[in-house]
């Protein structure tokens, strides 16, 4: 994960946590603001009711008619003792027949008790309007959005500043590993070439064979590390690969490594379709699988490797007769090793998993502790002949 992605990810997590914590006080603030808004509306209704009462008080009986006050956003009406309308502009069914302020969802109304036989025989004045909390919602959402943006920006700045020393350290470490990998490759190549030259001029002996096998083990580890460092920056072009020939070559390569433990590699390679895949990635899959099979096999045992067609798909299987796997679900985790005494860094199968997932290669594992394991790779149907 890149540094910017790391900062963004944890800034988002931190922002979410802070936002959730802030939701509680913000909720109470929202309730408070709704109550304030409702009280303000109640005062507004009282003000309108006073205007209606004032108009009725100013009515002169000598006038031909009384012009009842009308408002654009308010409805009002006069009601008798039984809450029957004497004159009403209220287009709403009143639910609560009790003087005072009432709120029914978004409908707000005020019932004012009038003096008896004074205002056209009316006992109650009702003033109603629609109460909208849109302003409150808008204000709360604005506050929440502002807080989230502010916390996210501050989190990004804080995390990036906090991570700078580690970024520098990681960069130095990466450079050190890259330089070390380059320095390791040169002596490995020299050792391997000189062993081959020695074997050509002299009779092969077990010591040279062990040295050759050891260099191949180191070379496999080097190739894993090299792939791990470079795979994000390189584009792995697909190639048309003859699976049979490719697999035979890798088996031959590891034959000397297997002899170190007196392990015999039995191969049954049948005709199989060519596949479209990057050769270096395929090599990492095969090499790590064979290397692990040798590493976790008992001495004086065997490894069975098969290549065959089934249901139109190319199948490649590796079976060893060794310690087996206790926790199959964990073996693909980087740096995980079930047996720390066997050596290695625990990155091989992690690399294999990343490659086969991208290539849509199915992997079926059958393992029994103390008996052995089988890794079966099923290549997709998109393979071509």
Residue 64: give its domain's CATH number.
3.30.450
Residue 173 has pLDDT above 80, yes or no: no
Q: What is the pLDDT of residue 248?
A: 94
Cα(344)–Cα(305) distance, rounded to whole angstroms? 23
Give the pLDDT confidence score for residue 241 in this predicted structure: 92
Q: What is the number of domains present in the chain?
A: 2
Asked, for residue 215, whether it belongs to a domain, the answer is no
Which range marks the domain in which residue 272 is found? 237-378
Asked which of 88, 115, 136 is the last residue of a domain, the reply is 136
Single residue among 96, 116, 136 that ends a domain in this structure = 136
| pLDDT above 90 coverage of the chain, percent | 33
190 part of a folded domain: no
Quick check: is 255 in a domain?
yes
**Local confidence band at 40 (pLDDT 50, 70, 90 cut-offs):** very high
Lowest mean pLDDT among 88-92, 154-158, 268-272: 154-158
| Same domain assignment for residues 246 and 124 | no
Mean pLDDT in residue range 155-166: 73
185 found inside a domain: no
- pLDDT grade, residue 5 (50/70/90)? low
Q: Are residues 8 and 129 in the same domain?
A: yes
- Residue 213: inside a domain: no
- Any domain includes 221: no
pLDDT of residue 166: 67
pLDDT higher than 80, residue 117: no
Please check whether residue 176 lies inside any domain of the structure. Answer: no
For residue 371, the domain's CATH number is 3.30.565.10
For residues 273-306, b (16+ Cβ closer than 10 Å) or e, as one string?
Answer: bbbebbebbbbbbbbbbbbbbbbbbeeebbbbbb
The verdict on residue 230 lying in a domain is no
Higher pLDDT, 259 or 11: 259
Alpha helices in 202-237 (DSSP H): 206-230
Average pLDDT for 121-150: 87
Q: Of 136, 155, 173, at which residue does a domain stop? A: 136
Mean pLDDT of 202-230: 78
Q: 73: which DSSP letter? A: S
Is 113 in the same domain as 242? Answer: no
């Amino acid at each position: 994960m890149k540094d910017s992605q790391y900062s963004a990810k944890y800034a988002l997590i931190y922002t979410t946590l802070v936002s959730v914590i802030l939701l509680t006080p913000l909720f109470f603030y929202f309730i408070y603001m709704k109550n304030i808004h409702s009280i303000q509306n109640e005062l507004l209704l009282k003000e309108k009711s006073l205007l209606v009462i004032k108009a009725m008080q100013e009515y002169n009986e000598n006038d031909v008619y009384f012009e009842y006050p009308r408002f654009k956003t308010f409805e009002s009406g006069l009601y008798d003792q039984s809450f029957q309308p004497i004159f009403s502009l209220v287009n709403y069914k009143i639910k609560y027949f009790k003087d005072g302020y009432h709120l029914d969802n978004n409908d707000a109304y005020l019932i004012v008790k009038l003096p008896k036989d004074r205002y056209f025989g009316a006992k109650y004045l009702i003033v109603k309007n629609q109460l909208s909390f849109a302003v409150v919602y808008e204000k709360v959402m604005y506050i929440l959005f502002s807080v989230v943006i502010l916390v996210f920006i501050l989190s990004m700045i804080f995390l990036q500043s906090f991570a700078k020393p580690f970024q520098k350290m990681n960069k130095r470490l990466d450079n050190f590993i890259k330089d070390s990998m380059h320095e390791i490759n040169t002596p490995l190549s020299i050792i391997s070439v000189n062993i081959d030259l020695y074997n050509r001029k002299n009779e092969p002996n077990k010591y040279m064979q062990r040295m050759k096998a050891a260099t191949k083990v180191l070379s496999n580890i080097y190739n894993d590390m090299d792939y791990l460092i470079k795979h994000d920056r390189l584009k792995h072009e697909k190639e048309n690969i003859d699976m049979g020939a490719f697999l035979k070559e890798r088996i031959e390569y590891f034959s000397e490594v297997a002899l170190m433990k007196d392990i015999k590699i039995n191969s049954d390679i049948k005709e199989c379709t060519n596949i479209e895949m990057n050769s270096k990635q395929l090599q990492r899959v095969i090499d790590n699988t064979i290397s692990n099979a040798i590493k976790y096999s008992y001495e004086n045992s065997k490894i069975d490797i098969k290549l065959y067609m089934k249901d139109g798909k190319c199948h490649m299987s590796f079976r060893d007769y060794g310690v087996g796997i206790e926790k199959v679900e964990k073996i693909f985790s980087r740096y995980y090793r079930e047996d720390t005494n066997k050596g290695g860094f625990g990155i091989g199968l992690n690399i294999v998993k990343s490659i086969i997932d991208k290539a849509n290669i199915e992997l079926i594992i059958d393992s029994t502790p103390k008996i052995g394991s089988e890794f079966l790779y099923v290549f997709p149907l998109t393979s071509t002949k």
